[in-house]
């Protein structure tokens, strides 16, 4: 099998839409939501170390939510998202943040936001605690960098694919389960599913599964909060992450991706399922147009009654 190095090779500017579907059940608390986020992403310069880029969050919209708490959390996190809605970064070829180039702007936004929050803090002790916690984060450039690294756009866009030769198999020891209750290393494998010569695109499929056995030791550590509600001895947790990246093989520009994260500890009482779908503007329309043109061209040159059809995805 041919090996392919996936990396961004040309400067570009594009807009993306990220759709996030989340569903979780914590014993008797069901939470479901659908969110749409729009981004403008520009790659400004590329060198051996990585590339300089700008990432601007254009808009965020909660399409569906089954619980008012989701809206309340969104309003609260919206204030903090403001600090990070304009990012000027230097990334390595895997998407890891090397340097935050507009750190001063981020810090100035925090000072403005903190003043507004302090005005309302007299009404809420929780808000006072949140201000103190956030203040400690914004006092540390390292913590700011970590917060930016966790940005959903960067996580979904680059995944494990960029900066690597595909196919590959490796371990990632710096992870937790999707309920964020326990350390959990993963085994990651990635393959080239198919190349689309007419479009110069490549599809990369990545699968991540736990590197360790999900035995009683893991279950006690991960689900001890729920042990009075579920029988830890009887459950058989299933944890998987599957991703598909469609990439312009020449430029390295992402065209679309889908990431599905599942942790099902108990089918009815304890699970989380998160799906992330991101697509570049006009990509689906372009693919459909090229499909039609390819089929029409084939029909015109064919002398047979049989009409050729090409399945790209």
Q: CA-CA distance, 180 to 184, in Å (whole number)? A: 9
Q: CA-CA distance, 53 to 124, in Å (whole number)? A: 38
Query: Tokens 């090229």, residue?
Result: 290
- Where are the chain's structural domains? 7-158, 164-281
Report whether 144 contacts 137 (CB < 8 A).
yes
In the predicted model, is pLDDT for residue 291 greater than 80?
A: no
- Angle at the Cα of 146 from the Cα atoms of 257 and 37, rounded to 5 degrees: 40
What predicted TM-score, i.e. pTM, was given to this entire model? 0.84
Q: CA-CA distance, 216 to 214, in Å (whole number)? A: 7
Local confidence band at 73 (pLDDT 50, 70, 90 cut-offs): low
Instruction: Report the DSSP beta bridge partners of residue 33.
Output: 22, 65
pLDDT attached to residue 294:
37
In the predicted model, is pLDDT for residue 126 greater than 70?
A: no
- What is the per-residue pLDDT across 197-237, written as a single tens digit (0 to 9) for each? 446 789 999 999 999 999 999 999 999 999 999 999 999 99
Average pLDDT over residues 152-173: 95
282: number of Cβ within 10 Å: 11
pLDDT averaged over every residue in the chain: 84
For residue 308, the 8-state DSSP code is P
Average pLDDT over residues 245-258: 94
In the predicted model, is pLDDT for residue 243 greater than 90?
A: yes
Q: CA-CA distance, 3 to 147, in Å (whole number)? A: 33
Beta strands 50-65; 86-92: pairing state: antiparallel
127: number of Cβ within 10 Å: 15
Length of the chain: 313
Q: CA-CA distance, 140 to 16, in Å (whole number)? A: 30
In the predicted model, is pLDDT for residue 306 greater than 70?
A: no
């Amino acid at each position: 099998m041919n090996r392919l190095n996936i990396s961004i090779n040309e400067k570009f500017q594009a807009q993306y839409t990220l759709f996030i579907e989340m569903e979780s059940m914590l014993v008797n608390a069901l939470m479901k939501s659908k969110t749409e986020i729009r981004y403008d992403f520009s790659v400004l310069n590329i060198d051996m170390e990585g590339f300089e880029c700008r990432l601007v969050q254009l808009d965020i919209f909660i399409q569906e939510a089954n619980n008012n708490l989701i809206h309340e959390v969104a309003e609260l996190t919206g204030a903090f998202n403001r600090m990070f809605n304009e990012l000027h970064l230097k990334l390595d070829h895997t998407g890891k943040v090397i340097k935050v180039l507009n750190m001063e702007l981020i810090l100035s936004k925090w000072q403005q936001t903190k003043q507004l929050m302090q005005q309302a803090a007299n009404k809420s002790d929780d808000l006072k605690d949140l201000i103190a916690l956030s203040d400690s984060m914004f006092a540390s450039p390292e913590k700011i960098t970590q917060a930016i690294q966790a940005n959903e756009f960067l996580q979904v866009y680059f995944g494990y694919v960029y900066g690597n030769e595909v196919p590959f198999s490796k371990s990632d020891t710096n992870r937790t389960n999707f309920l964020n209750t326990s350390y959990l290393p993963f085994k990651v494998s990635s393959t080239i599913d198919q190349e689309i010569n007419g479009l110069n695109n490549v599809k990369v499929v990545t699968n991540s599964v736990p590197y360790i056995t999900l035995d009683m030791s893991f279950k006690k550590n991960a689900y001890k909060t729920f042990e009075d509600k579920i029988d830890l001895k009887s459950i058989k947790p299933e944890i998987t992450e599957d991703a598909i990246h469609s990439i312009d093989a020449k430029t390295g520009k992402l065209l679309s991706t889908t990431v599905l994260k599942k942790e099902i500890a108990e089918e009815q009482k304890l699970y989380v399922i998160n799906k992330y779908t991101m697509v570049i503007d006009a990509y689906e329309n372009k693919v459909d147009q090229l499909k039609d043109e390819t089929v029409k061209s084939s029909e015109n040159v064919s002398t047979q009654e049989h009409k050729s059809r090409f399945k790209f995805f």
